[in-house]
Structure 1
Amino acid sequence: MTASPDDTRDTNGRIKLTREAVLAAALEIIDQDGVDGLSMRRLARALDRDPMILYRHAPNKAALLDGVAETVLAQLEVDRTAPDWQAQLRVVAHNYRRLALTHPNVVPLLVTRPLATPLGMRPPGTLRALEDVLALLTHAGVSGPDALHIYRALFGFLHGHVLNELQELVENPDETTDLLRLGLHRLPINDFPLLRSLAPVLADYDGAAELDRGLDILLTGLATTITGSRP
């Protein structure tokens, strides 16, 4: 049964305090002001609750950040039974890029937070994409070690791509030349002649096309080196 608006609020008209509601509010704050803008006190104000109540759903800020990463990654779907694993990984890659561009302030959490946490201690939701990709590849006949190699190569590439794409910022879109729009005129011409000369290319950057170009190289290379996959 579909929940009515009243099902999500308490008798005082406030949003019911569930883990999902806490993480959704935390994600909204991070989207607006970045990770540094999130605190338990600010989150409590957004939810109209006493800060101490939040600790029932997240014992500390670190757990809160893990939960936000889990919330975003939960939106990344993988079809485990897709007949063409390369085509499915291309879909996954574009969906990951879409999530990154929708939540750019969350990208550092997706890329860096796992570095300090062993796999078995990470929130289960952050490992779902890994398990799903492994299932997709093994279903296609790829061996376990090769499937893990493909996952690592793919997400290593994706992390690098989205970080690069998020750097492609236009300083002043109203300027008349690409050099001025990108702010590259600030760089000394004698020190950065090549970078300055590439201003039109940088200004014409197409993230989706660049992603596809990289995927063409990556997936083709992986397909020729793995063992035990079905044609």
Structure 2
Amino acid sequence: MSDRMQSGIPGGGSPDRPDRAGRSRLTRERVLNTALAVVDEVGLASLSMRRVADELGVEPMALYRYTPSKDDLLDGLVETLFLALDQALADGDYAIPPSRPGTPEWRADLHKTATAMYRVALAHPHVVPLVATRPLTVPLTRRPQGVLRSHERLLALLHSAGLEDRTALTVYRTFLSWVLGYIVIELRQIVDDPDEPEPAIRLGLHRLPASDFPRLRALGPALATPAGEQQLTAGIDALLDHLVPQT
């Protein structure tokens, strides 16, 4: 991987201004975009300050001005995904699954948010576990600004829809739980041997005793196929029909 790969990362800004030696100067955004590119290529387990520094052509100590710890780097990756989500929503140049006739505008906006989250996650699947786990270790007010702004926007949307605070919080929690859970399940590892042409063996179904796991054996091929955006938004509607049946 080279530093040039960063230009295609959602949420990344314009190239940094070169210094007198012809190299781009370091910024926090550039460090985080490089870290994201590393994770996209080799996975989260292989991420290290040294690996990021090597990609940038600097000493590891040079990074600590912009991301002072590994934990801060991980939080920065989460923020980078949320910034990519913000950019996707701001661009608005992608089609989403059609809403049901008569769907209120605020529900349609939830569909857009969920679809953008889904697409950003699929573009950076190795970072998704951080989105689910880092909030467990970081208090709300200490989370990155980009993350907080995304949550504030969602709560503001529900408030503008006229939902009472208690109902808005229930929808907020339910929406995030559904979307994040759906994405995690979509990204789970199913294929046992990617190079195997025989479907059953490719999925490793022969490893499951038919007498013990008849339904997994029967539904294994379907489980290996992503459910997609249509079921994502259909699930949101099913939840909202129960939580806010009058809108």
**Normalising TM by the smaller chain, what interval?**
0.7 to 0.9
Partner of 1:179: 200
**More deviation, 216-225/133-142:** 216-225
The DSSP-based 3-state class of the residue aligned with 1:198 is helix
Letter in 2 for 1:62: D
Is 1:100 aligned to residue 121 of structure 2? yes
Match of 1:48 among 57, 76, 82: 57
Task: Check the 8 A contact 1:134/1:144 in 2, yes or no.
Answer: no
Q: CA separation of 1:38/1:141 partners in 2, compared to 1, >3 Å: closer, same or farther?
A: same
TM-score (norm 2): 0.81
Q: CA separation of 1:4/1:166 partners in 2, compared to 1, >3 Å: closer, same or farther?
A: closer
Separation in structure 2 between the aligned mates of residue 17 and residue 93 of structure 1, nearest angstrom: 33
TM-score (norm 1): 0.86
Q: CA separation of 1:4/1:111 partners in 2, compared to 1, >3 Å: closer, same or farther?
A: closer
Separation in structure 1 between the aligned mates of residue 18 and residue 153 of structure 2, nearest angstrom: 34
Task: Check the 8 A contact 2:190/2:223 in 1, yes or no.
Answer: no
Q: Alpha-carbon deviation of 1:13?
A: 2.4
Runs (5+) with no aligned partner, structure 2: 1-12, 91-103
The DSSP-based 3-state class of the residue aligned with 2:244 is helix
1:38-187 equivalent positions in 2, closer than 5 A: 38-77=47-86, 84-167=105-188, 169-172=190-193, 175=196, 177-187=198-208
Separation in structure 2 between the aligned mates of residue 28 and residue 4 of structure 1, nearest angstrom: 16
CA offsets 1:5-39 (integer angstroms, 9 cap, x no match): 6x532222222201110111011111112222111
CA offsets 1:97-133 (integer angstroms, 9 cap, x no match): 1111111111011000011121111111111111001
Separation in structure 2 between the aligned mates of residue 183 and residue 207 of structure 1, nearest angstrom: 23
Letter in 2 for 1:75: A
Q: CA separation of 1:94/1:4 partners in 2, compared to 1, >3 Å: closer, same or farther?
A: closer
Match of 1:31 among 40, 43, 50: 40
Number of paired residues? 220
| Identity level (%) | 47
Separation in structure 1 between the aligned mates of residue 143 and residue 196 of structure 2, nearest angstrom: 46
Separation in structure 2 between the aligned mates of residue 193 and residue 185 of structure 1, nearest angstrom: 12
Root-mean-square deviation over aligned CA pairs: 2.2
Separation in structure 1 between the aligned mates of residue 226 and residue 64 of structure 2, nearest angstrom: 44
